[in-house]
Amino acid sequence: MKFTLKLIGILTSAFLGICLFFFILGGFIFGWDRPSCDEDSEAVRYARSLSEERLELLYLQMHDYSLSEDTPFGGYSRLQNNELPDEFNDLKVVKVRPKQGNIMVQGCFDHYVYLGFSGLNDSLEKEIVLSYGEFPVLTEVLWRSE
Q: Which residues contact 35 (CB under 8 A, 6 or more apart)?
A: 41, 42, 43, 106, 107, 108
Q: Which residue has the higher pLDDT, 93 or 39?
A: 93
pLDDT band for position 97 (cuts 50, 70, 90) = very high
Largest CA distance in the chain: 86
- Residue 29: pLDDT band with limits 50, 70, 90: low
| Its pTM surpasses 0.85 | no
Residue 47 banded pLDDT, cuts 50, 70, 90: very high
pLDDT at 63 over 70: yes
Q: In the prediction, which pLDDT does 24 show?
A: 62
DSSP notation for 32-81? TT----STTSHHHHHHHHS-HHHHHHHHHHHHHHHH-TTS-TT-EETTSS
